[in-house]
Each structure stands twice: as structure tokens, then as C-alpha cells.
Amino acid sequence: MSNEQIVSEVESLNKEYRYLNEVSIQESSAKGKLSGVCVSVKDCIVVKDMQSRAGSRVLTGYSPVFDATVIQKVREQGGTIIGKTSQDEFGFGSFNTNVGLGLNIPLNPFDKTRCCGGSSGGAAGLTQKAGFHHIALSESTGGSIVCPAAFCGVYGLCPTYGLVSRYGLMDYANSLDKIGPMAKKVEDVALMLEVIAGYDEKDSTSVKHEKEEYSSFVGKDISGMKIGVIKESLGEGVDPQIASTIQEKIAVLESKGATVEEVSLPLNNSYSLAAYYLIAMCETSTNLSKYCGMRYGKHESLEGSFNEYFSGVRSEHFSAEAKRRIIIGTFARMSGFRDAYYIKALKVRTKLIEEYKKTFESYDVLISPTMPVIAPTFSEIGQMSPLDHYRMDILTVGPNLAGLPHMNIPAGFSKDMPVGLMVIGNHFDEGKLLQIGKVLE
């Protein structure tokens, strides 16, 4: 499908909003919280009888026989599933340019020469473009919700690890993956979180946490709230115009009665990126081993030995970035290297969590820019090395490693492109993020 066809389909969806709204109400046995709401789903979240590929050619033709828990909850509340959204293959990227072989790269709704951000770029682009009542279900491993939300100018909330069931989510890195909502309004983010949050016995990482009415936090007064501005996030490597835009929003928070102070997270600034990529790649090399063309993955003619068949399927259907991450992850967890790399990265992760927890003893939330740059052009991305790509996640990997809730809030524009502000809360403090989001709306 060409990019022009993709744009045409989105415009067609806008025209069909009234029809979809009526279908949603008719199909819902009870007019739930999501009656009349169209819900798009990131490709790595399975939907029964709907092709689900996690953005990879290796899973072409896979039609799940069950719904992910979040999809089941959406249906129960009357939401209408309208389709799947594009992503980097298995979530491997910050720009949504690492799509599976033969798949299309989504274009930024503000400038078609620029990316949507990754890995949930399709979710963010559609959310911005949709002219109907729409909420996207997306997923984050190291910033895959807030990054594209920032580049496309929408709200995106990544919840506390374990708050939302991962049952039915195709793994990238088990200890990091989280499902969360994107929307144009804070109210819709809160609404979807109310629907999908909750314990699920089918998910061993699911946490038993008291049910909250997140909508009650929207519009709540923030006077007396203590906010920490992460010092390192406004320094070297961050576009000065983005830093200036964030400072303007800090002034708004102060005018609403919040106390704002500068804080430093030196360990996270120095070590979060390295720890994240070691842990994520080690876990993904294990998770992707099942896509061998036998039980899972693209089936080919059964020829040669198992190793020859296995290698042939993966060589042909995985992208260059998927292969790179599998190889690095496999090396880092090999006998003789596991203690030096993977185990050490896990120990560093514990230190990073301790630094965050210590900071939250004094502050309600922390804020920073979401991304250090505006959405880059495709030509700029083409000139980046893999390491340059990975460095783009410097501001977002910390809260993901720590399993902390964080949300992108549209903060303004630079060079006619959206700028995002990221607010980070302590575990299960999603309500405070929604408070801040509404104040800055």
C-alpha cells in the first residue's frame, strides 16, 4: 500500500465516523464507558481473527484465535476495534522507520518528510489525524508511547509496569513491555486507563492494585504539588528551542500553585541507556527464538537440517535491525559474558530505581522534555548510525527501566513541529500525571 493510499484510508475513516459510532452502540450489549469510541490497536497486541504481525514479515498471515486482555476489556465497555497500527518491527526503533520487510513507514501528520516516532508511530499518527472520537492502544518498552506522542503532538501515557495486563502482547523485552493509551484529550487517556487497568490472573507480571477512577484526577488542583525538573534533561544535546518551550510550561505550573525545583539524576543520565539496551536486547534474543518457521513464524519448504531451515527463515524475513538486536543480545547472555554484561546491567538497573525512589521522597512528579529533538526528517535519519538511533532514547529509557508511569504532554511547537513535555510519577501515581496534563492542556 502506498503512502497516498494510507492517507486516503485515514480520510475515509474520518468520513465514516458516524457509521462507526452507530455500529459501536449496536454491537455493545451494554452502553459501556467506550460506547461510540473507535479504538486502534498497535500491531503487537493480538486481536482475534485480525492479522497481528508486531510489524514483522515473519508473522505475515498470523491470525490469533483469542483477544488480548486489554482488547477483551475494550469490547466489554462498548469500544469498536477499527484496525491495527504500524510499528517498528517488534518495537525496535525510535522513529518507526525499522518496519518489517515490505511494510510501509508512516508519515508525520504535520510534515510528511518527517517520521512519526517509534515504535508506536502508527498509533500516534492516526491519533493526531483522526477527526472522529478515537483512542489508540499502544505499547512501550523504552519510550515507544511517549516518543511518537511527542513527535505527533498527542497525549500518550505509559503506565506503571504490571498495572495493565500484558496477556496477548507479543514480547519485545518481558521485564519492560507495557500497554498504554494515546489520545488527543487527557480525559480520553484517563478513560481508557480506567478500562484496561487491573489485575489479570493470566499474566504473571500483573499486579494486584486497588481500582482507581482516573477521570477524577483530571482537572484537580495542583497547588501545593512539588515538582522536580530534571537538570540533565535541559542541558547538552537538547534542542535549545525545546528547552525554552519546557521552561514556559514550568512557569505555567508555578502560576497554578506548584513548587518547582531543579533536581539531578546523575546515575540515570550516565548509565540508563547502556543498561536499557543490554537488558532489552538480551530479552529479545530469547523471545524471538521461537520465530523459527516451525510452530511460529513464516513457514517455508521443509528442506535441509533444522539449523539450515531455522537460519533460512530468519535470514529472509527479519529486518537488519531485528538481526542486529538478536546478535548483540545473544552475545551478551552467552556463557562467559552473561555476568559481565546482562547481570551487571540488572544490578545497574536496581541502582537507577533506587535513585528515582529517593527523589520521589521529596517530589510528587518529575518533568523533562520527552525527546531532545523534534521529529527528524527521513533524510536525517538515513544519516544516523545505529548508535545515534539508540541515543535518541536518552530521556525516556530511565522511567521504563524503573517501571515508572510517565506521560507525554503536548507543550507547543518548534519549527512548526510538536514539542512534548514528559511528566514522570512514582509507581501507581498515574493520577498525578493526569492532573499535570490537564493543567497544561
Distance CA 428, CA 160 (A): 6
For 108-156, write each residue's pLDDT tens digit: 999 999 999 999 999 999 999 999 999 999 999 999 999 999 999 999 9
Is 50 exceeded by the pLDDT of residue 322? yes
pLDDT at 16: 53
Is 80 exceeded by the pLDDT of residue 433? yes
What pLDDT band is residue 380 in, cutting at 50, 70 and 90?
A: very high
pLDDT at 22: 47
Mean pLDDT for the chain? Answer: 94
* Nearest one of 160, 214, 203, 161 to 425, comparing CA atoms: 160
Are the CB atoms for 164 and 177 separated by under 8 Å?
Answer: no
pLDDT at 23: 45
Are the CB atoms for 418 and 151 separated by under 8 Å?
Answer: yes
Are the CB atoms for 342 and 328 separated by under 8 Å?
Answer: no
For 87-108, write each residue's pLDDT tens digit: 999 999 999 999 999 999 999 9
Tell me the domains of the chain and their CATH numbers.
Answer: 3-223+403-439 (3.90.1300.10)
pLDDT at 3: 52
pLDDT at 6: 53
Helix axes 240-255, 430-439, angle to 10 degrees: 100
Mean pLDDT of 44-72: 97
Distance CA 172, CA 234 (A): 30
CA distances from 81 to 50, 53, 210 (A): 10, 16, 27
Q: What pairing do the DSSP bridges indicate for beta strands 417-425 and 365-369?
A: antiparallel
Mean pLDDT of 349-355: 98
Lowest average pLDDT, out of 104-118, 149-163, 290-304, 327-341, goes to 290-304
pLDDT at 31: 81
For 195-205, write each residue's pLDDT tens digit: 999 999 999 99
What pLDDT band is residue 10 in, cutting at 50, 70 and 90?
A: low
Mean pLDDT of 151-170: 98
Mean pLDDT of 266-294: 96
- 61 — phi, psi (to 5°)? 95, -5
Q: What is the dihedral of CA 211, 216, 218, 223, to 10 degrees?
A: -110
Lowest average pLDDT, out of 28-37, 65-74, 129-138, 205-214, goes to 28-37
For 170-190, write each residue's pLDDT tens digit: 999 999 999 999 999 999 999
Catalytic positions, please? 42, 119, 144
Omega of the bond leading into 119 within 30 degrees of 0 (cis): yes
For 13-36, write each residue's pLDDT tens digit: 555 544 444 444 444 445 899 999
pLDDT at 14: 55
pLDDT at 17: 47
